[in-house]
Amino acid sequence: MRVLGIETSCDETGIAIYDTEKGLLSHALYSQVKLHADYGGVVPELASRDHVRKTLPLIRKALVDANLTAKDIDGVAYTSGPGLIGALLVGATIGRSLAFGWNVPAVGVHHMEGHLLAPMLEDNKPEFPFVALLVSGGHTQLVQVDGIGEYTLLGESVDDAAGEAFDKTAKLLGLDYPGGPRLAALADSGVAGRFVFPRPMTDKPGLNFSFSGLKTAAAQAIAKNGKDKQTQADIARAFQDAVVDTLIIKCQRALEQTGFTRLVVAGGVSANVRLRSMLEETMRKRGGEVFYPRSEFCTDNGAMIAVAGAQRLAAKQTADLSVKVRPRWPLTDLAPL
């Protein structure tokens, strides 16, 4: 089965074609970073308009790159939530319309299930069951995964997501949008230990997260110590270390609670080099294994939607002719395969 995947949940237009026998055939991505940079964050209306302009040309490109035509597509998968409602409607409307015109089934995909299944694009695929850390600009969640659609929420952020806290702290440091990757790069030249920030909620039982207080601690350090280059780098290092340590502590608790030995880490923040190296060391010591998608599939992309959609379509789960999106959509609402 060849599935066209369409991702338009926020500020990146992602298109891919996935073959259930041959794997990923093509993928194309357009980032709106330059469009939103002047505003310091995503402007929903501008994002929606840009998806309108970019989605169809990228679909044509993906077909050409895969040496396919519309007649070769067996199904269409599109992100139907969670995300920005206008952006979601663009991808859902185009995806459902193409499926109708091509006379193939369509399915709306949960954005976070796409991230969760993104490691399935790699040669070294995780086997079920595993614990998943979904960590991005909008979500920080620990999920027990017993199979596709068999999800138990173990913990989540009660305020800012980790990626959101990265972006907000980067803005306080005067870094350009998108701030998260820029803060991580700045942290590389920071001196460890000059600043020490709290590891929030690690002194309490449970698997929930909170990053707003950590952001406040960083803001106070910036206000008190100025913004010379080295101080910025040292604060960035302290902030990143606090986030990484917090995530690792919670992951270990989740593994102990479930008894699982496999950990999947996905979402935009999973591309963070410091987080990856520390988690790999942690899992090695535990005798377990950690799985990631490659860096280009950590952020929003069409390949993860095509993979997740292919699983749903193979199980005969399809969308009707109406266009439905869910800006808020709990992962645990999904039906098991």
Q: Is 135 part of any known ligand binding site?
A: yes
Give the β-pairing of 106-110 and 75-81: parallel
Q: Is 75 part of any known ligand binding site?
A: no
Q: Match 């080099």 to its residue by tokens.
A: 273
Q: Is 136 part of any known ligand binding site?
A: yes
Q: Is 115 part of any known ligand binding site?
A: yes
Q: Is 137 part of any known ligand binding site?
A: yes
Q: Return the amino acid letter for 267.
A: G
Return the structure tokens found at 319.
Answer: 């969308």
Q: Is 247 part of any known ligand binding site?
A: no
Q: Is 189 part of any known ligand binding site?
A: no
Q: Is 95 part of any known ligand binding site?
A: no
Q: Is 159 part of any known ligand binding site?
A: no
Binding-site residues sit at: 111, 115, 134-138, 167, 180, 272, 300
Binding-site residues for substrate sit at: 134-138, 167, 180, 272
Binding-site residues for Fe cation sit at: 111, 115, 300
